[in-house]
Structures are given as structure tokens and as C-alpha cells.
Structure 1
Amino acid sequence: MDESTFQAYEEEIQALEEEIRLLTEKYEDIRQESTFFSEEEILKSIKSFQRETQGETKGHDSPSDLKAQLESLETNLSFLMEFTGFHFTSHSKKTVEKTRDRTVQKHRLSGKCYSLSFQLEFQLLEMQNNEKVSAVVSDLSIIMESREDSNVSKFVSSAEERGDLLTFFRSLLTYAEWHEHRRRTFLHFKAKYPDIVTLPEGLLGDFIILKDPKISGFELMIVWKIHLDKEGTTTPVLDLLPKAPKQVLEQRMSVESIPGKFRSALRLFGIEAAIENLIKVVGSEK
């Protein structure tokens, strides 16, 4: 083989190697892009696959083992969503940098925790040293609908500064659970005492009003705030604001004493029992 022919083969090999390298990088970028669909879409896909499996042509046995695994997956997925309260609607990641010892990926994540929606964007640096892998979160950006609340805004800003995803999710779960607990409590009392309980701002509002249908102008507003500090600690704060015409003062207990008695009942009996007792007082006949 003469030198010119050898050189031509060498150049062709190098060109092929370069093409393989570019295709490999492109494949890795595509592979790294992932999307997490909602649990409804996942369950729909699972059920569709089950129907296709059951409709296999003759001569093929039904894969019962695979069917059992899919049913188990469906059950576990539903349980996980209900147990944690988190419903992730989308997730994508893209590799920004990758070497033998470090990988930098950019993540985008959105979802809901009970009734609270959130969107996250952050970079994750993974470093491997002596067979140990460490991860560092940076450039964390959080979007929440309830961030217009000054307390929530301070907490989100603090989480962004620290890049503390674990604390964010833990605190968000507790905060969202209190919101869900308040919603269910309001719904329970509205359904049980429709003539007394009103919800001017709906189930997602932070107060309810108790009205005595027999006495015009007599109202008790139960305010139920949910406080979230910048460290991620959630605290429910309840109070009572009375409103009554003058004649009510002669017929019932002093209106000024009702808030204090309500706060005492909260400490002694808890939220639901304290509200229940207050409603019974409002609806009782004198």
C-alpha cells in the first residue's frame, strides 16, 4: 500500500471517528432530556398497555407476570402520590458539562403539593471522589402562586439563597398539609351547619363567618392564618373577631369575652372542637 492510499484511509477513519463522537454527544443530550408526566397520564398509559396486552393475537400467551407487575406499579404510584401529597407534572434535565469526575445538569421541575403549585429551576453539580459522590445545588429559582404572601416570599428567598431543596420540600409539605386541613375543616362545618357557616372567600380563604339566623347583625369571624417563617417552620394562628348589635349584649354573654374563651378552648380542645362548640353556642336558643 503506497503512502497516498494509506493517508486517504487514515483521513477517512478520522472523519468517521469524528462523526461517531458527534452522534454520541447528540444521543447523550437527547437521552438526558426526560419528562415526568402527570400521574393521570402514567396510569392511562399503563391501562392502555394492559388492554393491548390482553388483546394479543392467538398463539401468544397472556404475560400474567408482567400484568401483575404493572398492576402493582399502578397501585404503588397512586399510593405514593396520595401519601406524599406531591404530584409532579413535568421534569426535564439537560447536561451542561460532563467529565470523568464531575457532571453539571440543569433541571426544571413543576408540580403541586395538595392545592399549592410550584416551579423549580436549578443546577446540580455531582462530583465523584474516591468512589464517593457529592451533589451541590446552585442557581435555585422557585416560583409559587402563594409567594405574594410576605411570609412565603421570605421563606422562598431564604431557600433560594441556601440552595436547600430538602428543606424547601419538607417545609412545603407541612405548609400545604395545613392548608388542606383548613380546607377540609371549613368544608365539614359548612356542610354540617349550612344555615350558620358562610365562606365569603370560598374553601381556600383564611376565614369563616358564623351567623345566627335568628338575630340580624350578629356575626363571629374565625380567622385562620397559616404562618410560614423563613426557616420553614409552619404555625397555624387562629383568632375570633365578633360583631353584634347592642341588643345582643343583653341577651348573650359579653361579646368582648368571646375571643378569650375561644382561644382558651383552642388550647384545651383543639381547633375542630373549639369551632364546633362555638357554632353550637351561636345556634343555641336563649
Structure 2
Amino acid sequence: MEVNLLSVAEKKMTDLRDEITMLEQKLKEKEKEVQNFQKNRLHQMRTLLCKPQGTPPDLEVMEDKFNTMQLLRKMHEQMTGFRLWNFIPGQTNQGPQGKTQSCRFTGEGFSVCFQMELVIAEPPAENPTANHIKHLEIVLERPVSSDLTSLSSRAEETCDLMLFFRTLRQFGCWAKHRRATFCHLQAPAAYSLENQCHS
């Protein structure tokens, strides 16, 4: 009897491991798709915004551009899981190293609210790929895991905005998979692990 229970439990664990591996692979593929899509959309937005304006556009053209930008913003929110608002531009300063601009915004992603303040520097002509963020401050608005807090502190120290967003995304995905796995283990018939992870 115990041997049967043990073999059933081992089979379930093996199935769960296989399912987790498959889900991780799907997640990596989706992330690549999202990154490629975002690069293309950002390029289109930059092209749209940087076109030289000869004569002032009429109201219909402006409305079309606004609607396009709103649609892109909503698609970006749905694809990444992040929602940003309350963007407040700060002072622009001209110094010996070039122009800097400070800004502040509030955001939410994967049930974690945050406030962010950063200083962006104009990229030098000789090194346009250098890190443009010169100061980064992140405030998480509700108690979260100590791991996430320490990783956001690390992102602040290195002024790495992408590290913070990647970490928060990974944290949200893991938390979602963890909840789904626990629900599946408590009531396997009621919860399909794959459906819960993709919902």
C-alpha cells in the first residue's frame, strides 16, 4: 500500500517537474517574442514622434496619433504586465558632462506597486550605448519579500532599470506558478496546473 502511494507521489512529482520545465521554456519563448515586439513598436513610436513638423498637423491627424499611442500603451501594459502613471518630469540641467533630466513616476506590476525617481543623462556622442541612468531610487509601496527588496536595492546601486523590471516580472511569474502549484497539490482534480499558470 505504502509502495503504491510512494510510486503515485513520485509520478506526480515527475509530471510536475516536466510541466514546470515545459512552462519555463514557453515563458522564455514568450519573453523573446515580447522583446522583439517591443523593439519594433518603440522604433515605430520614435519614428512617429521624431518626424520633422513642417506645418502644424490638423486635429484629425493629432487624434489619430493620440489614439495610436494609447493603443500601443495598452498593448504594452497587457504584454509586459506593467502599468505606469503619474509621470512627472523634473528639472533639466546642463553640466560639463552634458544634459541631464530628472523624472518621477508611479507604477504597478504583478501586484507590486512602486514609485521610481531617476536622472537620465544625454548619451555622449563617443559612447551612445553607455548607461544613460545616473541616479535611480525605487520605493516599493507595500511589504514584499526580502529577496525582492534586496534585488531592487541592487538595481538602485547599479542604476540598472532593466534589472528591476526583469526581477519584478520573474518574481510575479514565480509567485503565480507557486500559487497554481499549491492549488493543484491541494485539489488536483479542481485545478489544472497548465491552465492556472497561463491564466
Structure 2 length as normaliser, TM-score? Answer: 0.52
CA contact (8 A) 2:110 2:168 kept: no
CA distance 1:83–1:110, change in 2 (3 Å): same
Alignment of 1:79-228 (within 5 A): 79-98=75-94, 102-130=98-126, 132=128, 134-147=130-143, 149-180=145-176, 185=180
- Tell me which structure has the larger Cα radius of gyration: 1
Q: Equivalents in 2 of 1:102, 1:143: separation in Å?
A: 28
Higher relative contact order (CA 8 A, sep 6+): 2
Describe the SS at the equivalent of 1:127: coil
Q: CA shift at 1:66, angstroms?
A: 7.4
Q: Equivalents in 1 of 2:127, 2:137: separation in Å?
A: 30
- Which structure is higher in strand share? 1
CA contact (8 A) 1:92 1:109 kept: yes
Q: CA shift at 1:144, angstroms?
A: 0.6
CA contact (8 A) 2:184 2:190 kept: no
CA contact (8 A) 1:147 1:153 kept: no
| Partner deviation per Cα, 1:14-71 (whole Å, 9 max, x = no partner) | xxxxxxxxxxxxxxxxxxxxxxxxxxxxxxxxxxxxxxxxxxxxxxxxx6x8777666
CA distance 1:271–1:94, change in 2 (3 Å): same
Residue 188 of structure 2 is aligned to residue 274 of structure 1:
no
CA contact (8 A) 1:96 1:105 kept: yes
CA contact (8 A) 1:101 1:129 kept: no
CA distance 1:84–1:67, change in 2 (3 Å): same
Gaps of 5+ in 2: 1-59, 192-199
Which residue identity lines up with residue 157 of structure 1 in the other structure?
S
Q: Equivalents in 1 of 2:138, 2:171: separation in Å?
A: 16
Describe the SS at the equivalent of 1:142: strand
- Percent identity, please: 22
Q: CA shift at 1:128, angstroms?
A: 2.2
- Which structure is higher in helix share? 2
CA distance 1:153–1:66, change in 2 (3 Å): closer
Q: Equivalents in 1 of 2:106, 2:115: separation in Å?
A: 4
Q: Equivalents in 2 of 1:109, 1:70: separation in Å?
A: 21
State the number of aligned residues.
133
Q: Equivalents in 1 of 2:136, 2:64: separation in Å?
A: 40
CA contact (8 A) 1:88 1:111 kept: yes
Q: Equivalents in 1 of 2:144, 2:81: separation in Å?
A: 22
Gaps of 5+ in 1: 1-62, 186-269, 281-286
Which residue identity lines up with residue 77 of structure 1 in the other structure?
R
Structure 1 length as normaliser, TM-score? Answer: 0.38
CA contact (8 A) 1:120 1:141 kept: yes
Q: Equivalents in 1 of 2:148, 2:173: separation in Å?
A: 15
